[in-house]
A and B are shown apart, each in its own frame.
Chain A
Amino acid sequence: MAFRNMDIRLRRAGSVYIVDISGEMDLYNAHKLKEVVKKMLEKGIRDYVINVDSVTYIDSTGIGALMHVHSTIKKQGKRMLLANVKGTVRQVIQLTKLMDYFDIVEDETAALRRMKAEA
């Protein structure tokens, strides 16, 4: 199929849900993240770590999806951290001047530590 792939897997670390995104967060796929987070919010999940370690490509739609889930989670008084922002993802976020917009942490360990400290 002409559509390239993005995969989302969920993991749990205590009460924190780690959303692992891999592949290409583009026009065709980015909406999946919004759907997943919407369902998770409906279930009352409070703490999110979005792990973009394995994202190989991101375009403005992908950034848009990240912003969307970030603001939806924040609006409900819940928490979201963005982990493993490197390479092309980092470049695009920097270019879009959004490094300060997201709560970015080094990696998963740092994310969980911060979630715990601020609990």
Chain B
Amino acid sequence: MELALLWPKLFVLLLLALVLYRVATLRSDAAGREGLWPLAAILGILLARDLALALTGISVILPLSGLAVVVMYLVWLKTFTEWTTTDRVYMALNVLAVVAAVANRLLDTPVEVGAFHYGLWIEANVVYLAVSLGLVSPVTNENARVVLRTRFVLLSALALSHLVLLLYGYEAALVHQALLPVTYFAHGAVIIAYYRWFHEQERESVAYYAANLESMFDFMKNLGSAISRRIEMSEVLDIIVKAASRNLGADAGAILLVDEYEDVLRVRATQGIYPPIYPVPDIARVTTGSIKRHFAETPIPIGETILGETVRSAEPVLVSNAAEDPRISGNAADDVLFVSSLIAVPLIVSNRVLGVISTLKRAENQFFDERDFEHLRTFAEYASVTIDNIHTYLEVLEKREMETELDIAAEIQSKLLPGNAAPLSNGSLASVTVPAKGVSGDYHDVISLDGRRLAMVVADVAGKGIPAAMVMVMVRSILHLVVSPQREAAAVLGLVNRGITGSIDLDHYATMGYLIYDQDSREVTYANAAHHPLLVYRKKTSKLLQVDTEGLPIGIERDAKYAQKRFTVESGDMLVLYTDGMVEAMNEQGTQYGLQSLKEAVKRFPDAEPQQLVDNVMADLEAFVGNARRHDDQTMLAMKVQ
């Protein structure tokens, strides 16, 4: 064996090694990269063979290295497919054969093993490899492309070269000069095939991301035009689930959102027929319509079923083959609810899980892959932010509508407040009302009944906005209709209640205190419909009394009975009426002003005129509340007996 022949061989091997290196560094995430190391190993075997042969000249190196190369190709093939028992038996046989060959060489055995035996054994190996290569199908193995493209040239080169060796032996010069280098090129063909394949992957991935972007833009455009018409959450969810299903080539899709009040998921949008991923009663399986309905109407507790688990764990899940996942294999085995593949991705905005978006494939042997999974994960991020934004927007819109309504109501309220009441001949009177922004619940009035008597009224309507303001208007109108010098206080409340009850919603009930003051006799009659008790300050004893009577609020029961109390007052005595907003006013610490504080404030100014008294009490209240927000109207009426 001449050393001169070694150089061109080494040169070719070096070239192949460079190509292999280039291929290996082409794409770090290419599929099929694990097939590169057996190819590198083959280069190593060839190099070792040529060096050893040139230096030692031991001819058995040739068949042994030839066997090693064929075996390595099988290892390479096995990076695409599974090792089988047959493969293992075959490998064991090879080990035995090598041991036998070495033993034959070293020991003195009766049978001389020659080139012919080696050649036969290697050909047997080539046949085994050929059968294995033949079993690879693009249907069962999507990375088979590279195998399919190279198997013809590979097998031809291996079979032919070893056939020649079988026929002519390993010593012929022809073998060394022409035949062995041919096998290098077969190997080169495999490496080049990889190069092509990795390039294709690159192109596909670029095309995939371009399509991905395209579909995102498409989605944004649809969403944009939907929003410019009118924002409805259901419409937005529809667009999202449709876009997701289309992008993934899914047969069905669904969005489920976490319920506002319960720990359950509710189906909010579906595309195609998304069957329940749980056992369904027979009655609901009759038609596709009934299946859809059953799914749409059945809340899924968070943590239950694969969808509930996705929300609880906040982890996206890909079930490529439904039959292999016990959570949904029930569907894979069911004709009506059949599902072949599922993706479920949680919708998350700043660590809050809003719900889950899921897509399904529902055809035999159709599966989602990692790319589909990645696409839906990316898509879900956009979708979550969109859903959250729209939710916030709708909330703000609703609150703004409410505030506008409250402003209108406040306007109505301000028109109802009393003008200048007839001056008292035997007393003085003052009132104050501070409306809270947007709230309109308080009503107070002073009505002259005749020359000597006047009526004072304070009322508070529950609820808010225009409905509450309308109730206030009704109360005021009925009150003005029914008051008369002859009518007792309790009777007035009874009539107002009778007039209101039934024509208003229960939650707009009103509490009302009604007081008649007779200036001649200094007699006070008070009737109360569940309003705060009347406060009476007795000048003589410096005591503050509470006067209350029985009776339900106005507007609850038509035949409610009201009681009244009659008592006389003396010069210097003070009568005070007020509403919730005074005693329930809160400071920044959340403490209420309270009746006690109000009473103390009144007692602190025993000689004040009514106007001074209300001013002082209001100032005391303001000081207590500080910067806290006022959340209810505050009304106070005071009358002093001369």
Q: Which residues of A contact B (CB under 8 A)?
A: 2-3, 8-10, 26-27, 30, 34, 36, 56-57, 59-61, 63-65, 67-68, 71, 88, 95-98, 101
Q: A-B pairs with CB below 8 Å: how many?
A: 68
Q: How far is the CA of A71 from the CA of B509 in the complex (A)?
A: 13
What residue in chain A is nearest B262 (Cβ atoms)? A10
What residue in chain A is nearest B509 (Cβ atoms)? A64
A97 x B464 contact (CB < 8 A): no
Q: Which of A9, A30, A36, A59 contacts B584 (CB 8 A)?
A: A59
B530 x A97 contact (CB < 8 A): yes
Q: Which residues of chain A have C-beta atoms less than 8 A from B511's C-beta?
A: 60, 96
B262 x A27 contact (CB < 8 A): no
What residue in chain A is nearest B552 (Cβ atoms)? A97
B34 within 8 A of A: no
Instruction: Say whether, besides A9-B261, A67-B507, A98-B530, A61 and B463 are in contact (CB < 8 Å).
Output: yes
Q: Contacts A27-B464, A60-B511 given; 6 further ones with Cβ under 8 A?
A: A9-B262, A59-B462, A60-B462, A61-B463, A63-B462, A68-B507
B464 x A61 contact (CB < 8 A): yes
A95 x B530 contact (CB < 8 A): yes
Q: B110-149 interface mask toward A, CB cutoff 8 Å, 1 = contact, 0 = none? A: 0000000000000000000000000000000000000000
Q: B599-638 interface mask toward A, CB cutoff 8 Å, 1 = contact, 0 = none? A: 0000000000000000000000000000001011000000
Q: Which of A30, A36, A97, A98 contacts B550 (CB 8 A)?
A: A97
Nearest 10 CB-CB pairings of A with B: A64-B507, A60-B462, A64-B462, A68-B507, A97-B530, A67-B506, A10-B262, A96-B530, A27-B464, A8-B261
Q: How far is the CA of A3 from the CA of B400 in the complex (A)?
A: 12
Q: How far is the CA of A27 from the CA of B584 in the complex (A)?
A: 13
Q: How far is the CA of A63 from the CA of B509 in the complex (A)?
A: 9
List 7 A–B pairs whose Cβ atoms lie within 8 Å, in order of A's numbering. A3-B399, A27-B464, A34-B507, A57-B586, A63-B509, A71-B506, A98-B552
**Which of A10, A60, A67 has the most CB atoms of chain B within a 10 A radius of its CB?**
A60
Q: How far is the CA of A36 from the CA of B399 in the complex (A)?
A: 18
Q: How far is the CA of A60 from the CA of B510 in the complex (A)?
A: 9
What's the minimum C-beta distance from A76 to chain B, rounded to whole angstroms?
A: 14
Q: B422-464 interface mask toward A, CB cutoff 8 Å, 1 = contact, 0 = none? A: 0000000000000000010100000000000000000011111
Q: How far is the CA of A2 from the CA of B550 in the complex (A)?
A: 37
A36 x B261 contact (CB < 8 A): yes
B505 within 8 A of A: yes
B580 x A65 contact (CB < 8 A): no
B242 within 8 A of A: no
What's the minimum C-beta distance from B302 to chain A, rounded to whole angstroms?
A: 13
Q: Which residues of chain A have C-beta atoms less than 8 A from B556's C-beta?
A: 67, 101
Q: Which residues of chain B have C-beta atoms less than 8 A from A26's C-beta?
A: 631
Instruction: Say whether, besides A64-B463, A96-B530, A97-B530, A59 and B509 are in contact (CB < 8 Å).
Output: no
Q: Which residues of chain B have C-beta atoms less than 8 A from A56's C-beta?
A: 590
What residue in chain A is nearest B632 (Cβ atoms)? A59
A10 x B580 contact (CB < 8 A): no
Q: Which residues of chain A have C-beta atoms less than 8 A from B580's C-beta?
A: 59-60
Q: Which residues of chain B have C-beta atoms less than 8 A from A60's C-beta?
A: 441, 460-463, 509, 511, 580
Q: Which residues of chain A have C-beta atoms less than 8 A from B262's C-beta?
A: 9-10
Q: How far is the CA of A9 from the CA of B261 in the complex (A)?
A: 5
B377 within 8 A of A: no
B553 within 8 A of A: yes
What's the minimum C-beta distance from A102 to chain B, rounded to whole angstroms?
A: 11
Q: Which residues of chain B have C-beta atoms less than 8 A from A59's C-beta?
A: 462, 580, 584, 631-632
Instruction: Say whether, besides A63-B462, A64-B509, A67-B506, A27 and B631 are in contact (CB < 8 Å).
Output: yes
B551 within 8 A of A: yes
Q: How far is the CA of A67 from the CA of B554 in the complex (A)?
A: 13
B508 within 8 A of A: yes
Q: Which residues of chain A have C-beta atoms less than 8 A from B552's C-beta?
A: 97-98, 101
What's the minimum C-beta distance from A47 to chain B, rounded to whole angstroms?
A: 16
Q: How far is the CA of A55 from the CA of B584 in the complex (A)?
A: 15
**B window 542-575: CB within 8 A of A:** 550-553, 556
Q: How far is the CA of A96 from the CA of B551 in the complex (A)?
A: 9
Q: Which of A27, A36, A101 contacts B439 (CB 8 A)?
A: A27
What residue in chain B is nearest A71 (Cβ atoms)? B506
Q: Which residues of chain A have C-beta atoms less than 8 A from B584's C-beta?
A: 59
B362 within 8 A of A: no
